[in-house]
Amino acid sequence: DLIVAVEIIEHLENPWKFLRECLRVLRDDGQLIITSPNVTTLMSRLTFLLTGALPYFREESFVGCYHVTPVFPWMVDRACRTAGGKIQEMRFSRVDWPRRNDVPHRLSRVRSRALSLLPKNSLTGEITAYRIRKDSARERVTPGLHYK
């Protein structure tokens, strides 16, 4: 079993429900692969500090392509914990960095070369890819239950 959702989850108003439904329909040990803009990069953090908005989630992104929900790794982990899933791996890629209006563009050769020297990790990778495995035996966190 495999479900692949490439650059979809950030367009959804309820990504938690989407993740839970994907894990519900997967067989045990099935894999879910999702990708989303990486909102934990140094550039994202600096942009948020200075403007109060994340790259790819500015007004232009909302109106232009309906980016509505920034997806943080902790959110994916917690949603998985409520549905019997576990993040097996996170990888990062760098394709195009956003412009001011959040439209991807080709990089200049100098800037492209400079960025290629950086490692692709949570602080520098533009896109996050999650590989999640369904594990029915994993203890689940019950949403809304604060005390046992």
Q: What is the pLDDT of residues 96-111, one digit of tens each?
A: 555 555 555 555 666 6
The pTM for the full model equals 0.84
pLDDT: which is higher, 123 or 6: 6
**Of 71-75, 118-122, 124-128, the least confident:** 118-122
For the chain, what percent of residues have pLDDT higher than 90?
A: 56
SS (H, E, C) the chain: CEEEECCCHHHCCCHHHHHHHHHHHCCCCCEEEEEEECCCCHHHHHHHHHHCCCCCCCHHHHHHHCCCCCCCHHHHHHHHHCCCEEEEEEEEECCCCECCCCCECCCCHHHHHHHHCCCCCCCCCCEEEEEEEECCCCCCCCCCCCCC
Q: What is the pLDDT of residue 65?
A: 80
> 62 falls in which pLDDT band (50, 70, 90)?
confident
Nearest CA among 105, 86, 87, 88 for reference residue 96? 105
The answer for 138, left when phi > 0, alpha when psi is -120 to 50, beta otherwise, is: beta
The answer to whether residue 40 scores a pLDDT higher than 90 is yes
What pLDDT, on the 0 to 100 scale, is given for residue 64? 77
